[in-house]
Structure 1
């Protein structure tokens, strides 16, 4: 092989080795040609946007923010840890919420269907009307009266009291006022010959004894009163 052939062979090898470099350089040139217009446009856009904050931003502020961030690294870490705890908590209760929220919605819908929510709304309206019609002092007095009324209702819940009131309630239907006539002393004596009249008089005496306890506050330990002269 002659020297010329050796030189040509070496040149071919060098050309083969330089081919990738040439392709890379060509790609870089194409990338530069594509990026330069975009970078110029981005730079102009960034400059225009920064003009809006130029009056409120200084480089010293950025340095102060950087220093403050470095001094507050522990606080930032603590905040991130708490955020992780919140995320874990939400992740934990998410299945519960998925199962409980529909139940709550169904329950509220059932209350709405039965009119319970409308009743609650009406009660709030009633409370607003009461507040507009009465002063706080009046409402306090009404509350005291309600407490007394509840005490009376508790006493009336006694079986004996309920039975007595039930019997009293049936009396008007058994009384014939159209047949009532004036009665004198002898008429009263004649009426006492009836068993019903004597039983009624006995009931009246029991009621009279019971009403005597009202004088001493209903404690059942009344002293014997002196006869009226």
Structure 2
């Protein structure tokens, strides 16, 4: 009796499940119909493609085998493992590539227009880059890259120094504008004089050296003292008149004889210059 009750309960539960299933099918009848159509279409497509796929597999059996061996290699497995570990980075990289692709798509038309407008310039640039001298220059640049980097660093330091000095130089130029203008006029006058006369630059330099040597001699303390003493005597407002006997008497003065000796030495040297 108990078993019959259990059987009846099971039949009741089955009928309820069947009714629920029927209601679900009725509610989704349209979707089920579309799904069945898709399954039939996929089955027909599979039936059409299967022979061709089999033929393709037969024709490419060796490449497929090599591909399978390549995928089974340890290096490939490690590569897939690394790709899986860096999936987030790979996704970010793909996003960056997508953005770069969009940017490139936007820039390409403008670049093409610029190339068309500057075709002659681009052509000349290409010829210049293809010249042997340019290739040699690039090779030497590569061989001396360390020196070139040091030179660039030096230029950077020089640029910074120039930027610091330029304001001060400008201020000094403004403050000495008149002096600089006079110096420029003097240089212009020298240039005009040089153009009007046949000047030997070697002789000019030699004479300038002689003038420097003469200036050094005139700056000697003894020469300075002698000039000061002589000029002091000429600057006397009321010198004492000297006659013949006074001149003869002055010859007994040691200072006078020393001065006469210097005058005679100067006269002798001056006459020697004429002979030489």
TM bracket, shorter-chain basis: 0.3 to 0.5
| TM score, norm. by length of structure 1 | 0.44
Richer in helix (by share): 2
Q: Computing the radius of gyration over CA atoms, which structure comes out larger, 1 or 2?
A: 2
Ranked by relative contact order (alpha carbons within 8 Å, sequence separation 6 or more), the top structure is 1
